[in-house]
Structure 1
Amino acid sequence: MLNSMTFGELSGRISRVVACGLMALALAGCSGFNLFGPPKLREEAIVPEASLYQQALNNMDDQRYLTAIDLLERLERQHPRGQLSEETKLMLVYANYRIGKFDEAIAAADRYLAIYPNGKDAAYVYWLKGTSYFAQIKDITRDQKISQDAIETYTQLIRAHPQSEYAKDAQDKLKVAYDNIAGKEMSVGRYYQGNGQYSAGINRFRVVVEQYQTSTHIEEALYRLTESYLALGLVSEARTAAAVLGHNYPSSEWYQRAFDLLARQGLSPQVNEGSWLAAQRT
């Protein structure tokens, strides 16, 4: 067949094939597809460490934290062992914390503490990590894992840096976190009690009495124990719970309620020294 073609016909066919090939190449270029393999990534221009760090600080001063984070992450990539490595990791914790990216701040804090556990800003990083958890604590109806994480972090801070300026604030926030967990225990305990599951309720109230004595829920917990023990016919335990409540909080409204509850049964508060509650007198 090729021999029967005229030169003009052959030339025309070649031209069409070449044109189709050129069009395919053009379309591939427009779509970003490389016929000869994956496209090469543009190499990131290396910028001096001090320059990148200063740019990041400038952006933070202008409250452009997202841009600052990008610059700090670039600095980590380009200068992983640079002289400003510790400062860079600290600023990543701070910048993420400032814009409410708490999970990222926590992860950045963990990276800092893994490499610089005794760094000059370790106490501050612990505080930023703990406060990133603390800021996410919701009401007592939610899961309290975040509260527990905050407690663990603040406890680490206080143990490792008891004299730091952040330890006092950590102590104050610990009380709130403990109160939140105690409130959750009380909420569940009241639910069980209201459904007649007194033993399950007692277990929850006991946790509050034994583990969260500084919480604002301790007085009610002792009263609920009085109620629940009385409902189960455990009179000695009920009288002991009321007596401990009166001993520790004599002016409490909850004690007056416990006293009246026992009085209606012809009973009065009295400590049974063999009860676990006897050890709760302060």
Structure 2
Amino acid sequence: MANFTRRSLALIAVLLLSGCGSLPEEKDETAGWSAQRIYSEASESMTDGGYDRAIKLFEKLEARYPYGRYAQQAQLEAAYAYYKSGEAALAVAACDRFIKLHPDHPNVDYAYYLKGLVHFNEDLGLLGNLANQDLSERDPAGAKESFDTFRELVTRFPESKYAADASQRMQYLINSLGAHEVHVARYYYKRGAYLAAVNRAAEALKSFPNTPSNEEALFIMVKGYDALELPELRDDADRVLRKSFPNSTYLLGSGANGKPWWKLW
């Protein structure tokens, strides 16, 4: 009886396994398609906003026809599709891969531009609303990555059609990164960490000269040195502020009631 039961269970298992194996496989719509057709279908999906489908088609194209001209273009298009679908990390990885595999490709400048753009838009919210955020513990690494990528693009491909836009974005990033440093310096000052505030403001002046935030950086240095009872350094910062920004709003109270302007804040 026991042997019969074991044989019955084995037979059932075989039948179940054979039944699972006979399930119909998912049909591949691209079976028999040429590289051109896969690329055309993927491009059409991109135009219609179907980025997920486009990504799958581009991946199939590269896997099936890895050495054709469509495969290289598919790599770039897939990077853009990742970007549009909100997959920033995958978009950057795809750009890096294209740059590594095709450093002399006629469109490699676009790969640099797209990589910089992904990082730029990723940190746009972080750096675009400084007044409403506490950035003291946040490192805008994406903005720095974006700046470095755009700089490489402009340096290597000064005649690229993307160079002008990249240069404008670089200036925005420099201004934003400078503002971030000053925001952190202000954060330290308000909490009584005067030495940290002065050092951060000085770093902002050194790393991001000629940016709009330099005026406040100098103001924080004057206030910080005064709080630290370092009059010579305070007066030096005051002279630089007056010379660099003679119409500074921070100097409006200068001389009132016989007190130095920094005592009025």
TM-score bracket for this pair, using the shorter chain length: 0.7 to 0.9
Alignment gaps of 5+ in structure 2: 22-26
1:235 counterpart residue number = 231
Is the contact made by 1:209 and 1:221 (CA closer than 8 Å) also made in structure 2?
Answer: yes
Alpha-carbon distance change, 181 to 266 in structure 1, aligned in 2, over 3 angstroms: closer
Query: 1:95: how far off?
Result: 1.5
Match of 1:198 in 2: 194
Query: What is the letter of the counterpart of residue 131 of structure 1?
Result: L
Q: 1:249 aligns with which of 245, 251, 258?
A: 245
Shift of 1:220: 0.4
State the shift of 1:176 in Å.
Answer: 2.5
One-letter amino acid of the structure 2 residue matched with residue 245 of structure 1:
L
Residue from 92, 107, 115 that aligns with 1:121: 107
CA spacing shift, 1:18–1:170, aligned 2, 3 Å: same
Q: Aligned to 2:259, which of 261, 264, 281?
A: 264
1:25 to 2, 7, 14: 14
| One-letter amino acid matched to 2:139 | D
1:151 to 147, 154, 157: 147
Alpha carbons of structure 1 residues 103 and 84: separation in structure 2 relative to 1, 3 Å: same
* CA shift for structure 1 position 88: 1.4
Please name the residue that 1:210 is paired with.
Answer: 206
Aligned to 1:220: 216
| CA distance in structure 2 between the aligned counterparts of 1:85 and 1:264, rounded to whole angstroms | 72
Answering whether residue 75 of structure 2 is matched by residue 89 of structure 1, we say yes
How far off its partner does 1:230 sit? 1.8
| 1:76 equivalenced with 2:62 (yes/no) | yes
Computed over aligned residues only, the root mean square deviation of the Cα atoms, in angstroms, reads 3.0
Residue 85 (structure 2) pairs with residue 99 (structure 1): yes
Aligned-residue offset at 1:26: 2.3
Give the Cα separation in 2 of the matches to 1:266 and 1:177: 32
Contact 1:223 1:255 survives alignment (8 Å) = no
Amino acid at match of 2:66: P
Cα distance, 1:45 vs structure 2: 4.7
Q: Count residues in correspondence.
A: 247
2:42/2:55 contact within 8 Å kept? yes
Residue-by-residue CA offset, 1:237-261 (whole Å, 9 max, x unaligned): 222222222222222212435x459
Match of 2:50 among 40, 57, 64: 64
Deviates more, 1:146-155 or 1:171-180: 171-180
Quick check: which has more Rg, 1 or 2?
A: 1
Report what 1:272 is aligned to. Answer: none
Superposed displacement of residue 205, structure 1: 0.1
Structure 1 CA distance for aligned equivalents of residues 91 and 9 of structure 2: 54
The CA deviation string for residues 155-196 of structure 1, in whole angstroms up to 9 with x for no partner, is 111111122221221122222322332233223222322233
Distance 1:243 1:96 in 2: 51
Distance 1:177 1:168 in 2: 14
1:167-206 matches, within 5 Å, as: 167-206=163-202
1:18-45 deviation digits (Å, cap 9, x = unpaired): 654332222334566xxxxxxxxx9995
Where 2:149 maps in the other structure, the secondary structure is: helix
List gaps (5 residues or longer) in structure 1.
Answer: 1-8, 33-41, 268-282
Task: Give the TM-score taking structure 2 as reference length.
Answer: 0.81
How many Å separate the matches in 1 of 2:261 and 2:69?
A: 77
The separation in 2 between residues aligned to 1:241 and 1:29, in whole angstroms, is 84
Bigger share in helix: 2
Does the aligned pair in 1 maintain the 2:255–2:261 contact within 8 Å?
Answer: no
Residues 20-75 of structure 1: per-residue CA shift (max 9 Å, x gap): 4332222334566xxxxxxxxx9995643222212211221222111111011111
Find the aligned partners of 2:191 and 2:69 in 1 and give their Cα distance: 63
- Go from structure 1 to structure 2 and tell me whether the alpha carbon gap of 1:266 and 1:207 turns closer, same or farther (over 3 Å shift): closer
